[in-house]
Amino acid sequence: MSSRQAFRASNRFGLGPRPDELRQIGADPRGWLHQQLAPGPRFQPWLSTVAPSHATLGDLLQKFYQMRSLKKAQQRGDSRQASLAEMRRELKKSLIRTQLQQLGARMQVGIETEAPFRERLVHFWSNHFTVSTAGGKRLLVTSCTAYEAETVRKHLDGHFADMLIAVEQHPVMLAYLDNLQSLGPNSRAGRRRSQRGLNENLAREILELHTLGVDGGYGQDDVTALARIITGWTIANDRQIPGEPGRFVFMNAMHEPGTHRLLGKDYAEDGVHQGERALEGLAAHPSTSRFIATKLVRHFVADEPPAAAVEHVAKVFRNTDGHLPSVHGSLVDLDECWRPQEAKLKTPNELVVSALRGLDFSRLPEKRLLGSLELLNQYPFTAPSPAGWPDSTEHWGSPNALLQRIDWSTQVGKRVGSARQPRTLLAHMSNPTDDGALRLSVERAASASQGIALLLAGPDFQWR
């Protein structure tokens, strides 16, 4: 019994057991989980090498201006074509290099952390507040990991409203959802430039994806009102937008003046605080607690979230003003999470991380780590839309995706080979409720490589 609960805790809430994790969890899986929610200093050496987002964005801005003056010189006839093309090439190479290093470090956290429940929650919230380099935002590639750290990791022990404000004021989010040049039509800048105006993209996604949810009870008027409220939320470039390049700044000249009514509440002019109050209002809206609870229950219980569980988590959210540790803790205490029947399919990211945790096979070159995710179609920060990666068997369990997982597992088996004993791996990587088919199959494997491939590619390992 207790080993089943430990297995469930490690897979459903954690990222899959490392070799002696089940033993560490012991007879108190819920305690193991609650303890990870306690705030406190967390030593994460792997992420110390990731530069803060204002540094990478500021640096990009500087390069952009350099290239622009080179281009102007080129158009005037200065023959500096070569240096412009070369600058572009160098920039591209350095972005790729840095991105790989950052994403590798981030994966290392997943593989080695002893607080995997916490790391899973980081991934959940990072996906909820998705930023992506797909869709033409490739310049953000070296800032996404820092974005996640500066918003989600930073506020995981606080209230939802704090994380929400940090996200919507973050330069990467403002760039991703096109708020940088959104102008209030009656702002000083808006009245001068008749062609540029309000961009509603970020406001719409805040309502639809970050807070109330698509059926949460807002209308087009609310989208427009929120868009007006956050005009002027942009990134400093130390030119027409004063401030340290790469940092969030409130630019009054771009802001739509006046009081704005959002979901029946009036928000008076108050500089940047107008928007912060508005976001707090959204965080406190009853639809938000329900929307967030639904997503959390979908993630931890089942693709079809049971209504009672959703209601319970939503209530905790409301009663604690969105105190995240309390909300997360309420999931641990949900009976539904511990029932054997409900299974969740692992995403490619979860498959790769759980495989490497179970094999205790870290220190792989970044290219290989990230290459696996690319092959399995879940490269970090490339979700196809602001809705983020889906959380369902439907999406990840397509026939072709299964074949890709099998191919990948075969390669891992070949690579690891006899460095690991499949039969020892069974101890922590096979489900105690298993009917024995896997154990038999692995024991009869023709080689260690085949045994490992069977373990990773088999149906049991696809579920958590």
Partner 1 sequence: MISRRNFLRTLAAGSLASTVPGLGFAAPGRGRQRLVLVILRGGLDGLAAVVPYGDRAYESARRGLAIAPPGDPGGLRDLDGFFALHPMLRALHAHYGKGELAAVHAVASPYRKRSHFDAQNVLELGLATPGGSRQGWLNRALPLLTAESARHAEDYAMAIGQSVPLVLRGPEKVGSWAPARLPGPDDDLMERLVALYDGDPILGPRLEAALNAERMAGGSLSGRGRPGERFGRLAEVAARMLSDTAGPRIAVMEAGGWDSHANQGREGGALAQRLRRLDEGLSKLAAGMGPAWPHTVVLVVTEFGRTVAMNGTRGTDHGTAGMVLVLGGAVDGGRVLGDWPGLAKGRLRDGRDLAPATDLRSVYKGILRDHLGITKADLESRVFPASRAAPAMSGLIKA
| Site residues, partner 1 (CB under 8 A) | 75, 135-136, 201, 204, 375, 377, 384-385, 387, 393-394, 397-400, 402-404, 406-408, 410-411, 435, 437-438, 441, 445-446, 450, 453-454, 457-460, 462
- In angstroms, give the least distance from the CB of 380 to partner 1: 16
- In angstroms, give the least distance from the CB of 343 to partner 1: 8
CA distance 357 to 9: 15
**Beta carbons of 105 and 145 less than 8 angstroms apart:** yes
Nearer to partner 1 among residue 6 and residue 177 (C-beta): 177
Nearer to partner 1 among residue 112 and residue 200 (C-beta): 200
Nearer to partner 1 among residue 39 and residue 136 (C-beta): 136
Structure tokens at 365: 């070159």
Nearer to partner 1 among residue 215 and residue 394 (C-beta): 394
Rounded to 5°, the CA angle 52-382-101 comes to 45
- In angstroms, give the least distance from the CB of 54 to partner 1: 26
Rounded to 5°, the CA angle 166-172-178 comes to 105
Q: Where are the beta strands (DSSP E) in 7-47?
A: none
CA distance 274 to 257: 11
Q: State CA 282 to chain mean position distance.
A: 21
Structure tokens at 357: 């945790």
- In angstroms, give the least distance from the CB of 75 to partner 1: 7
Nearer to partner 1 among residue 85 and residue 96 (C-beta): 85
Q: State CA 432 to chain mean position distance.
A: 31
3-class secondary structure, 335: helix
Question: Given the structure tokens 């209530």, which residue do they identify?
Answer: 315
Nearer to partner 1 among residue 47 and residue 445 (C-beta): 445
Nearer to partner 1 among residue 333 and residue 374 (C-beta): 374
CA dihedral defined by 365, 400, 297, 149, rounded to 10 degrees? 30
Nearer to partner 1 among residue 55 and residue 343 (C-beta): 343
CA distance 371 to 107: 12
Contacts of residues 215-220 at CB distance under 8 Å and 24 or more positions apart, as own/partner, are 215/287, 216/285, 216/287, 216/288, 216/290, 216/291, 217/263, 217/287, 218/263
- In angstroms, give the least distance from the CB of 368 to partner 1: 12
- Report the amino acid identity of residue 437: A
- In angstroms, give the least distance from the CB of 27 to partner 1: 30
- In angstroms, give the least distance from the CB of 83 to partner 1: 16
Mark residue 452 as left, alpha or beta (left: phi above 0; alpha: psi -120 to 50; beta: remaining). Answer: alpha
- In angstroms, give the least distance from the CB of 148 to partner 1: 22
CA distance 228 to 184: 6
Nearer to partner 1 among residue 268 and residue 437 (C-beta): 437
- In angstroms, give the least distance from the CB of 441 to partner 1: 6
3-class secondary structure, 267: strand
3-class secondary structure, 379: coil
